[in-house]
Every structure is written in C-alpha cells, then in structure tokens.
Amino acid sequence: MDEFASLVERLPAGRVTTHHGELAAHARDRWALAMLQEARGAHVAHPAAVAFPSSTEEVSTILAWVHEEGIPVVPRGEGSGRCGGAQAVKRSLVLDLTHMDRILEVDEVSQTVRAEAGVRGSTLETTLARQGFSLGHAPVSMGISTVGGWVATAAAGLTQAGYGGIEDALLGITVVLADGDVAQLKAVPRSATGPDIRRLFVGSEGTLGVITEVTFATARAAALAWAAFRPHSFESGLALLRELVQRPFRPLVARLFDETRAGELFDAPGASRGAALLVGFDAGAPAGDAERFEFGQLARELGARPAVRDLAERWWDQRFEPVARYESVMGSERSLGAGVIADTVEATGLWRRLPGLYEAVRGALLEHAESVGCVVGHVHTSGASLMFPFLLRASSDEEAELGYARAWDDALTACIAAEGTIGYSHGIGLHLAPHLVAENGEPGIALLRRVKDALDPKGVMNPGKLIAPRTQP
C-alpha cells in the first residue's frame, strides 16, 4: 500500500485496497481468452490496487493523483465486457465504479433519466418500469453491466431495431479527464454548437476519460406483440429482414437466426426447419394489428413459413440466459471440459454485402471451430450486424488458445476483406485493438492517437485498449 499512501490520504477511509482477493477479482473482464488463461493457471496480470470512488469528486481526486504519479488506471464497471477492455495491466490502479450506483432523477415531463455510471442496467430498467417508462436498451448482459459501460463501449441491445444504440439515447454526460478536470456536458435533445463532444466519449472505453454520470432519453414502456417465420434459407431471411426495416414497418425487436443457430435453439436434433425470423412489434401502436398482418403477407410472398408465436415468446423470456451459458462453459465450472472455448465474432456491413460477408466470416471460422452459427440482431435501413457464436474444441487448453487466436485473426481478416466492420456493440479492448489499423487505416489511427495524446498526454488512461501501443522503431 506504500505506493498508494498519498492517494489514500486524499480519500475517505476504505476507498483503496491492495487485498489479494480484490486484486484477483479485478484482474480481468469476461474476455474468453483471459478466462481460459486463468482456468489453466497461466499468468493473468493483477492490478497493484483497486479504488472504489463514490462520487465524481472522488474520481477527480483519483485521476489527478494518477496523472501526477504516472500510474496506469483501468476504469471498470461490472466487468461484463468480452474484449479485454477492463483487463488490468502491470502496476495499474483499477477504478471500480460500481459504488456510484445512484439513480439521480427520473424526469417524467421530459422523459429522461439521470444516473451515475455504476448503475446496473437491470436496476435502471426496473426503476423506469415502475413509472411506465423504458430506456429501450436491452443488452443480453442487462443484469451484469452498467450504464457507464454501455456508453464507453457504444453498446446496442436486443431492442435496437426500435430504439437504436445507446448513443441514440444519450443526452448528457459527465466525464472526468485524465488530469482530474471535470467536463459536464448538459442534457439537451440536440445541439449545433460545433462537433458533438458527447459523442467523443461514446465507444472510448476509458481511454480519454472516465464517465461518471449520464442522462438518457426514455420512452413509454411498450408490450411486445410477436410474429415468427421460418425462411427457407438464411439469404432469403436477409431479404425479408431488409424489407422489414426499409418499408414503413416499425419493429421494436428483429432477430434472424441462420439454419445452424435456428436448429440449435428451436428444432429437434437433426430436424432443422431452415432459418428463423422473430419480430416484436409495439402491441399498443395505433396501427399495430394492421402492421403485423401486412408484414405476415409480405413474409409469405417471400416464401417464409409462419411459425407459432410461442417460438418468439419463449426466446424472449430466455433472452438473458446466454450469459449463464457462457459462464458455465468459460468459468470455473468448465461445463464442457478443458480445451473448449466459446465466443462471438461481430461483422457489420451494408445489405448488398451481407451475403458475401456472411460466407467469408463463417467460412473462416469453420476452419477452426466445430460449431458456427449466425444471428442478425441489429438492423438499419442501410445494413445490419452479423454475430457468429462459435465453439472451438481442442486437445488441451493450450491448443484451444492457439486455435482461438487463429480463428479470430482469420475471421477479422475475412470481415475487413469483405468490406465489413469488425465491431458493433462488444467494444474493442485489448482483443481487437491490433486490428484497428486494418479497419480504419493509418490516417484514421493517427487521428485517434492525436485525440488520445491531447486528452491523456501521459498515456495513463486504460493503456493498450482501443489503440494498440506504438511499435518501437
């Protein structure tokens, strides 16, 4: 604790710890590679200390000290990230924001909510629901992720089709900069006063500052009315999904599963019935019944077979279960045994390129994994995001780790070659940072580095995440 004695003196008692149990608990997030390494006893870097601020002022005090001392700081919420964005680095101070968990205001007139960064998503949604509102943001990690983390990773959820990504809800934000200065960007629906500084911190992953407070727009809570269809192929399902979002339908949820994933989730073994498209409409919309009827007609015209609504309703009721399944496979339980690693690759592109993008990324993964499915979960009028859950099985954990690296490298290379983007809603972190030059080009990364250098001249803010370290000449 000697190294942090002067920090301890500036904060209330109990805010900083070097207890081994806390250091171990804050060493990693839910990145599959780090979980595998930990399970097989390989070295995973632990922080030197963990701080638990309870206010923006305390975060400011901590960052001012970090800036003075040149100690790396790793901001962290619940650690639900899957890309190593909250991975500790050597000598680092992990900044655990979960004690900043107050919902500060629900404005029923403006339909906004103001909350501290450490509020869990499920807590926020429950609070809003009591007053008849919803954030309209429902990531699978709802129960183990925080609102600050959502903004920091540019998250998107299951209801993105109706409400957009988290950036579409963000109205105001408070950020503590690397030197401890506090930037309070007020909540307004829109402002044309130069570049939107709020957006600078969306997806910044704690590399430019620490988000401590957010204000979101909310919506009136809506009940879902479901429609379910079985397109005969994934490509025909893509065509139907594109019609859904490009015509004047207004789905709140739209999810397309390819034949492999639909078979795993909805069909008896060996009895695949094709792809599956699940669509949730606003049950209370004035033209809701007519809209669902019209879409049903369109689906039939495009060759999709109607399926029972129960298919969609059961999936929605179980929508958060993938978190538990992932923990079962990758956590201490190791339910599928050693040598197994599971993860999900994202690839996003324009509608015209999606069939080729699907084949390219899926083909790359199948060279390494025994099971590869695809889910289209985030849609726009111009394109969509493909998610490829895969399972890789090897003779040992060491072989699985090598296969995992090759699978990801090949999949990301295929994605970029097919003119897709490698990130949509899971963040970049340590995992994908080395690929951002191929993604954005040298000029794009140089621009990002200039912003980083201006806001964090000592390079202490979540080093190695988002922007890979400079290579030595």
Cβ neighbourhood burial of 317 (10 Å; 0-12, 13-18, 19+): exposed
- The angle subtended at Cα 9 by Cα 8 and Cα 10, nearest 5°, is 90
Q: For residue range 115-127, what is the model confidence (pLDDT) as tens digits? A: 999 999 999 999 9
Q: How confident is the model at residue 473 (pLDDT cuts 50, 70, 90)?
A: very low
CATH number at 103-220: 3.30.465.10
Q: Once rounded to an integer, what is the mean pLDDT over residues 416-435?
A: 96
d(CA 313, CA 95): 39
Q: How confident is the model at residue 1 (pLDDT cuts 50, 70, 90)?
A: low
- Topology of domain 321-427 in CATH is GMP Synthetase; Chain A, domain 3 (3.30.300)
Q: For residue range 150-194, what is the model confidence (pLDDT) as tens digits? A: 999 999 999 999 999 999 999 999 999 999 999 999 999 999 999
* Residue ranges of domains in the chain: 2-96, 103-220, 224-317, 321-427
d(CA 226, CA 202): 32
Q: Once rounded to an integer, what is the mean pLDDT over residues 310-332?
A: 96
* pTM as predicted: 0.96
Provide the pLDDT for residue 471: 57
Q: Has residue 352 got a pLDDT over 80?
A: yes
Give me the amino acid identity at 367: E
Q: How confident is the model at residue 287 (pLDDT cuts 50, 70, 90)?
A: confident
SS3 (DSSP) at 279? strand
Highest CATH level, class, for 2-96 = alpha beta
CATH number at 224-317: 3.30.70.3450
